[in-house]
Amino acid sequence: MLRNLKLKKMLSYYKPYKKVFFADLFFATLNSGLASVGYLAILYIKDVALNLPRDEAFKLVLWSAISIPIFFVLLYVSTQFTVYYGHLIGTQIECDMRIEIFSHYQQLSMNFHDSRKVGELMSRLTTDLNNIGEFLHHTPEDLIVILIRLAFASWVLFKINILACLVTISVVFIVIIACFNYLPKIQKLFIKNNEKASYINAMAQESLSAISSVKVFCNENLEIEKFKKTNIDFFESKKYSYKIFSRFYSFNMSIIFIVVPLVVATSLFLILNQTMKISDLITYIVYANFIIGPIHILVSLIENFEQSLAGFSRFIDILNIKPNIEDSEKAIELEKIKGDISFSDVCFCYPNSKKEILKNFNLSITKGEYVALIGPSGVGKTTVCNLISRLYDATNGSVKIDDIDVRNITKKSLRKNIGFVMQSPYIFADTIRANISYGQPNSSDEEIINAAKKANAHNFIMRFEKKYDTEIGQKGIKLSGGQKQRIAIARVFLKNPSIFIFDEATNALDPENEKHVQKSVDLLSKNRTTIVVAHRLSTIKKATRVVVILNGSVAQNGTHKELLSKKGFYASEFCDFV
């Protein structure tokens, strides 16, 4: 039952292309019918010609020979149509399915991405869908070939033919010459297709690796559009390669199909001249081969069906996964938030883990406050930040912004009001301009430059030869750690959110870069609620309030001076984690 449902779902992808699909089936039927009827006509001509007077027999054979070019043209046209448009339908369906599953990846929650390897997700985008596309292309045509040829072969089982060696050798040479002429071109096309496929893998892997950045900046649709462009480029490449390949394949297959008619026609001329006799044994072998072909196709079809159905099952399994975090029916859009934040008895446990990261966590932050979160590694500092933007939802308790539960705010409007600079900011393999404007893609050059200046990034950007149009490589390999952070801070300046969250990562920076980054953070934190996961004393001292988190709860809360004056963890263990 489930197998039938999956097959029905697979076949539904033909629906947008049903006109071309039925045209493809028509030409596949015509192609197979022409091949079968051609052999049947030769049988008829052979039997009739041998019983006709010599002059009439010669006329019949002559007209048969004249009809061979027409037969060739019809075979060529029908074969090219089925090869080109058959592949095109399969590739277009593959393209549609790839966009569908990639769009679904973008909508799935962090819980899903935390539990999956990127390579595993990539295989569903590439290998699985390629197999499915090939199956959806070949199967209808192969079924028609099998049915027609087996039906014909069973009817004329003992109607036999012979191939003349001279004609066979001539045709073989034609095919070899055609192969040598086309193979270099086809090889280049395959290389190009593989390159295009690698671009898709690279782009998708980068986007999925940066899924938290994508979600924080509400750029799921931007990523989908970027992927569509890359995917369509790959589709166009394959479209052109199939056009060239269809010519090559059509010519060879047409030549092969007319081997028997040519040989038989030649043999009949020889027989009428009493210089050759047809061997029943040889012709039997010819038609034995004619029936073996469909059997090979059927075996291959069954194998491909199982392989494709397995891949399609993996595809459907992903599409059936629902996002853990979705907008509720009563979720509201917030144009601009004030920035008040409160945690009330919040508990949180990551999926597939029994360990509670936060336990009855309570914290209130008022609009415009600069709060530093400190504590040993793994106590939940970053988790607190992730709960604010709903990258995850609290297991128990509530997180509120402006006295509204974040679960009652649309994800898009919530995240548009929150600016993140993560511990390891993700830099895309694009230009500096594109990276800064990632949160606001339609920003003007003036706005981008202004944001870069505020982030203390403009000066080092101008030292590059292409300045803001500099391609900075995979994960920003051309930039230093401090430069990456300043680019990430420039993004937030451009976004201009009400809440700024900075997971400080200045430990590995040299003093000069640390100074620039700290200066940018100080400027960015003005007039907005700021939460910093702090590691350095210089950052903690500037906070209006320091929150010490131990064992998943707030252990101490106050200014730097207040906490130092009290006995407790902050005063006694401060140096262990700052």
Q: pLDDT tens across 268-295, in order?
A: 665 666 665 555 445 545 555 565 566 5
Mean pLDDT of 523-544: 84
Residue of higher predicted confidence among 221 and 259? 221
Residue of higher predicted confidence among 238 and 391? 391
pLDDT over 50 at 425, yes or no: yes
Q: Are strands 370-374 and 545-550 parallel, antiparallel or unpaired?
A: parallel
Q: Which of 417, 411, 421 is nearest to 382 (CA)?
A: 421
* Residue partners of 220: CB distance under 8 A and separation at least 6: 106, 107, 214
* CATH topology match: 2-319 vs 341-417+533-578: no
Q: Mean pLDDT over all residues of the chain?
A: 77
Q: Which of 51-60, 113-122, 359-368, 403-412 has the lowest mean pLDDT?
A: 51-60
Whether the CA torsion 181, 184, 189, 194 is positive or negative: it is: positive
Share of the chain above pLDDT 90, in %: 14
Mean pLDDT of 190-218: 72
| Predicted pLDDT at 577 | 46
354-392 residue pLDDT tens: 788 999 999 999 999 999 998 888 888 889 999 999 989
Mean pLDDT of 389-410: 92
Residue of higher predicted confidence among 186 and 481? 481
| Predicted pLDDT at 280 | 47
Cα(234)–Cα(528) distance, integer angstroms: 44
Mean pLDDT of 40-53: 59
Domain boundaries, the chain: 2-319, 341-417+533-578
| Predicted pLDDT at 291 | 57
538-565 residue pLDDT tens: 778 788 899 999 888 998 888 888 888 8
> Would the pTM count as exceeding 0.85?
no
* Residue partners of 90: CB distance under 8 A and separation at least 6: 133, 134, 135, 136, 137, 138
DSSP letter, residue 322:
P
Confidence grade of residue 154 (pLDDT, cut at 50, 70, 90):
low
| Predicted pLDDT at 90 | 81
Task: Give Cα 365 to chain centroid, integer Å.
Answer: 41
pLDDT over 90 at 301, yes or no: no
**175 CB neighbour count, 10 Å cutoff:** 16
Q: Which of 441, 424, 432 is nearest to 217 (CA)?
A: 441
pLDDT over 50 at 505, yes or no: yes
pLDDT over 80 at 225, yes or no: yes
**Contact 234/196 with Cβ under 8 angstroms?**
yes
| Predicted pLDDT at 307 | 60
| Predicted pLDDT at 325 | 85
84-125 residue pLDDT tens: 887 788 888 888 888 888 889 888 888 888 777 776 777 778
Q: Which of 200-214, 359-373, 512-526 has the lowest mean pLDDT?
A: 200-214
Most confident of 26-40, 300-314, 488-502: 488-502
Among the CATH numbers 1.20.1560, 1.10.287, 2.40.50, 3.40.50, which is that of 2-319?
1.20.1560
The neighbouring-strand residues paired with 547 are 373, 557
The CA-based dihedral angle spanning residues 70, 76, 78, 79, taken in that order and rounded to the nearest 10 degrees: 150
pLDDT over 50 at 161, yes or no: no
Written as one letter, the residue type at 54 is R
For 341-417+533-578, CATH gives: 3.40.50.300
130-149 residue pLDDT tens: 777 777 777 777 777 777 77
- Strand ranges of the sheet holding 370-374, from the earlier edge strand across to the other edge: 418-421, 499-503, 529-533, 370-374, 545-550, 553-558
Residue of higher predicted confidence among 182 and 520? 520
| Predicted pLDDT at 397 | 93
pLDDT over 70 at 168, yes or no: no
